[in-house]
């Protein structure tokens, strides 16, 4: 089975925060977009959100012919998906609702049109259960604002064809995104597992009166948050181990994971886990030395700090605000 990867018409079902972000991204890439949402006033709200996003998309650069006028809002699911080359569902996060919606979407769509769901954690094997041609159905989990953030997690169900994963990667890449294939179908996928862990700890800190929400946000945005925009936790901590890298870092700070700092139980620090972390970060390092990566990190940090400072000034804010 071959799937459509040359996309001219993009269908969006559900046009709230995430659906409207997909519509804006697809329009900015010069596609025709057909949207459907059952809520009263949904079309006006969608057009308003696109108008709000458009200046940023113009700054980023539009594809030839890109225009908000290429959005058509329709009254039925069938009309929305019938001629679509790619379909993205962004309906409320309810299993029963998505199950019913996908049986209708997939029955009306072209059989070789890929279908993506924006779900942030439901399992595709469950909500694509009664889909027609389930081999072309995937999760394409984006990040808000969808029209700017590149990450999209792709997750297949137990019936998704491997070729559909590759085809979805090609489509999302053509939309300017950075696909990440989540190979095991687990609730929350990869990114939300991480975000939820941080979120849970943050709520405990508020609940225990340790810090205000503002202080917790400051702890992120003036520290690790700046680093995270260009270097993930594993490589960052490899550098924190100095020239001895990750193995030294694990020896020095690994035992602290057993301290009761967090409400999450720590995993047992087995040799297997330590080796997996050391080998993984070794691959990430590749041929680069720790000091070369430190210079790269410092340059990125300076660039991010300067960009944040200039943008804050434009909005009448000091860097420390």
Ligand X SMILES: C[N+](C)(C)CC(=O)CC(=O)[O-]
User: Binding site membership: which residues?
Assistant: 14-19
Shortest gap between Cβ of 21 and ligand NAI (angstroms)?
8
Rounded Cα gap, residues 166 and 160, in angstroms: 11
Which of 9, 15, 106, 281 binds ligand NAI (CB under 6 A)? It is: 15
Alpha carbon separation from 179 to 132, 138, 169, 225, 254 (Å, rounded): 25, 12, 6, 21, 31
Question: Would you call 151 exposed, middle or buried from its count of C-beta atoms within 10 A (0-12, 13-18, 19+)?
Answer: middle
Rounded Cα gap, residues 277 and 250, in angstroms: 9
Alpha carbon separation from 122 to 118, 132, 155, 198, 281 (Å, rounded): 10, 19, 10, 20, 30
Shortest gap between Cβ of 21 and ligand X (angstroms)?
9
Which of 195, 273, 303, 317 binds ligand X (CB under 6 A)? It is: 195
| Annotated binding residues for NAD(+) | 14-19
Rounded Cα gap, residues 251 and 85, in angstroms: 52
Q: Which three-class secondary structure state does DSSP give residue 181?
A: strand
Helices marked H in 122-269: 124-127, 162-174, 191-207, 213-219, 225-228, 233-240, 245-253
Shortest gap between Cβ of 71 and ligand NAI (angstroms)?
15
Which of 7, 11, 12, 18 binds ligand NAI (CB under 6 A)? It is: 18
Which of ligand X, ligand NAI, none does residue 187 bind (CB under 5 to 8 Å by kind)? none
Shortest gap between Cβ of 79 and ligand NAI (angstroms)?
14
Which of 19, 116, 179, 188 binds ligand NAI (CB under 6 A)? It is: 19
Nearer to ligand NAI, 90 or 281 (CB): 90
What tokens does 102 get?
């996908």
Shortest gap between Cβ of 120 and ligand X (angstroms)?
3
- Give the 3-state secondary structure percentages of the chain, helix then strand then coil, rounded to 5: 55, 10, 35
Nearer to ligand NAI, 13 or 293 (CB): 13
Strand partners, 71: 33
Which of ligand NAI, ligand X, none does residue 106 bind (CB under 5 to 8 Å by kind)? none
Contact characters 131-170, ligand NAI, x per CB under 6 A = ----------xx-x--------------------------
Q: Which three-class secondary structure state does DSSP give residue 47?
A: helix
Q: Residues 143 to 162: which contact ligand X by CB under 6 A?
A: 143-144
Burial 243-260 (b: 16+ CB within 10 A, else e): eebbbebbeeeeeeeeee
The C-alpha angle with vertex 271 and arms to 227 and 196, in degrees rounded to 5, equals 40
Shortest gap between Cβ of 162 and ligand NAI (angstroms)?
24
Taking CB under 6 A as the binding criterion, the range among 12-20, 153-161, 264-272, 299-307 that sits at the site for ligand NAI is 12-20
Q: Residues 75 to 134: which contact ligand NAI by CB under 6 A?
A: 90-93, 97, 101, 118-120
Which of ligand X, ligand NAI, none does residue 91 bind (CB under 5 to 8 Å by kind)? ligand NAI
Q: Residues 212 to 241: which contact ligand NAI by CB under 6 A?
A: none
The contact set with ligand X (CB under 6 A) reads 120, 143-144, 192, 195
């Amino acid at each position: 089975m071959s799937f459509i990867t040359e996309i001219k018409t993009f269908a969006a079902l559900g046009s709230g925060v995430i659906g409207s972000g997909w519509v804006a991204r697809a329009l900015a890439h010069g596609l025709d977009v057909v949207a459907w949402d059952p809520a009263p006033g949904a079309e006006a709200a969608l057009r308003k959100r696109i108008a709000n996003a458009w200046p940023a998309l113009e700054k980023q650069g539009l594809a030839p012919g890109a225009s908000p006028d290429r959005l058509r809002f329709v009254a039925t699911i069938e009309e929305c998906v019938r001629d679509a080359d790619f379909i993205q569902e962004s309906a409320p996060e309810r299993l029963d609702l998505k199950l019913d919606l996908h049986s209708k979407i997939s029955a009306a769509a072209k059989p070789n049109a890929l279908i993506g769901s924006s779900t942030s954690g439901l399992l595709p094997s469950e909500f694509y259960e009664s889909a027609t041609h389930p081999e072309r159905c995937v999760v394409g989990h984006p990040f808000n604002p969808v029209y700017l953030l590149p990450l999209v997690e792709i997750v297949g169900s137990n019936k998704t064809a491997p070729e559909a994963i590759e085809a979805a990667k090609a489509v999302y890449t053509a939309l300017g995104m950075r696909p990440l294939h989540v190979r095991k179908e687990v609730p929350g996928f990869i990114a939300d597992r991480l975000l939820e862990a941080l979120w849970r700890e943050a709520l405990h800190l508020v609940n225990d009166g340790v810090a205000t929400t503002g202080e917790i946000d400051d702890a992120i945005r003036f520290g690790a948050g700046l680093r995270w925009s260009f270097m993930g936790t594993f490589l960052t901590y490899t550098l924190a181990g100095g020239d001895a890298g990750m193995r030294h870092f694990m020896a020095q700070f690994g035992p602290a994971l057993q301290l009761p700092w967090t409400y999450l139980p720590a995993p047992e620090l087995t040799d297997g886990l330590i080796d997996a972390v050391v080998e993984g970060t070794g691959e990430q390092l590749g041929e680069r030395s720790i000091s070369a990566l430190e210079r790269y990190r410092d340059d990125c940090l300076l660039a991010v700090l300067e960009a944040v400072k200039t943008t804050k000034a434009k909005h009448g804010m000091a860097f420390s605000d």
